C-alpha cells in the first residue's frame, strides 16, 4: 500500500517537473542540440532529471536521441505531460529549427492547466470535508439537540389537535428518536455515495459509510449527554 502511494506521488511529481524542464529547454540558443539539452536537464536534482540521466547514458552507449527519448516515455506510460515533452523534443531534433518559443508556450499551457486543476482540487476537497463534517458531526449534533428539547416539550397541547398527550410521551419520544437515527443513517448513505461518485470510485462508498455512520451515531449520543 505504502509502495503504491509512493509511486503515485513520484508519478505526479514527474509530471509537474515537465514544466520546469520545458522552461529550461526554452532558454538555450538554437545551436543547442536536443542531445545537449538532454545532458543539461540530466544535471538537475529531480525525478525527471534521473530519467534524462538514463537517456544520456543510452545515447553514450550508442542509442539514437529518438530512441533514448522514447525510452523515457516507455518508462512512464500514460503520463500526458511527459508524452508531450518527448513529442516536442523529437520534433525539435528532426526539424533543427528554433524551438525555444514552442517549449515556452507548451510550459505556459501546462502551468495554466495545473493551476486550474489545483483550483478544482481545492474546491472538491472543500466540498468533501464539508460533507464529512456535516454528515458525521453537525447533522447528528443538531438532531440530538432538537431531540433533547423535545424531551422537555409539553405534549398536552397536542390534545387540541390529536388524541394524544403526555401519557404517550415515552412512545412519541421513542418514535422521534428512531426517526432521527434513520435520518442520520440516510444522510450517511447519501454523503458516502456522493463522495464516492466525486472520486469516480463507487467501491469507496462502503468505506465512507463505515466511517461516517458510526461517528454520526456517537455524535448523536454525545449531543444527548450534553443536554442530559
- Would the pTM of this model clear 0.85, i.e. be above it? no
Tell me the domain boundaries of the chain. Answer: 2-98, 118-226
Average pLDDT, the chain: 86
Picking from 16-25, 28-37, 140-149, which range would have the lowest pLDDT averaged per residue? Answer: 140-149
Whole-number Cα distances in Å, 225 to 136, 145, 220, 222: 17, 10, 9, 5
In this prediction, residue 69 carries a pLDDT of 95
Identify the top-confidence range among 26-40, 142-156, 213-227. Answer: 26-40
Banded pLDDT at 127 (limits 50, 70, 90): confident
Banded pLDDT at 75 (limits 50, 70, 90): very high
In this prediction, residue 19 carries a pLDDT of 94
In this prediction, residue 99 carries a pLDDT of 85
> How far apart (Å, rounded) are the C-alpha atoms in residues 203 and 61?
48
Quick one: average pLDDT of 66-94? Answer: 92
In this prediction, residue 37 carries a pLDDT of 93
- Percent of the chain past pLDDT 90, that is, above it, reads 39
pLDDT per position as a tens digit, 76-88: 988 899 999 999 9
Rg (C-alpha) for the chain, rounded Å, is: 30
Residue, of 115 and 11, whose pLDDT is higher: 115
Spatial CB neighbours of 186, under 8 Å, sequence gap ≥ 6: none
Amino acid at each position: 500500500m505504502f509502495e503504491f502511494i509512493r509511486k503515485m506521488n513520484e508519478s505526479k511529481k514527474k509530471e509537474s517537473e515537465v514544466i520546469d524542464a520545458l522552461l529550461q529547454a526554452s532558454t538555450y540558443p538554437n545551436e543547442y542540440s536536443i542531445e545537449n539539452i538532454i545532458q543539461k536537464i540530466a544535471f538537475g536534482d529531480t525525478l525527471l532529471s534521473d530519467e534524462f540521466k538514463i537517456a544520456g547514458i543510452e545515447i553514450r552507449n550508442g542509442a539514437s536521441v529518438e530512441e533514448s527519448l522514447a525510452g523515457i516515455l516507455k518508462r512512464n506510460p500514460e503520463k500526458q505531460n511527459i508524452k508531450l515533452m518527448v513529442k516536442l523534443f523529437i520534433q525539435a531534433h528532426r526539424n533543427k529549427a528554433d524551438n525555444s518559443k514552442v517549449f515556452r508556450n507548451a510550459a505556459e499551457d501546462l502551468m495554466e492547466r495545473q493551476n486550474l486543476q489545483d483550483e478544482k482540487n481545492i474546491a472538491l476537497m472543500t466540498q468533501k470535508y464539508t460533507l464529512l463534517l456535516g454528515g458525521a458531526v453537525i447533522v447528528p449534533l443538531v438532531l440530538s439537540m432538537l431531540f433533547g428539547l423535545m424531551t422537555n416539550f409539553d405534549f398536552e397541547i397536542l390534545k387540541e389537535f390529536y388524541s394524544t398527550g403526555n401519557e404517550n410521551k415515552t412512545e412519541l419520544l421513542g418514535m422521534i428518536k428512531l426517526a432521527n437515527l434513520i435520518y442520520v443513517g440516510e444522510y450517511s448513505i447519501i454523503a458516502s455515495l456522493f463522495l464516492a461518485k466525486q472520486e469516480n470510485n463507487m467501491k469507496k462508498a462502503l468505506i465512507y459509510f463505515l466511517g461516517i455512520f458510526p461517528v454520526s451515531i456517537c455524535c448523536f449520543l454525545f449531543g444527548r449527554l450534553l443536554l442530559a
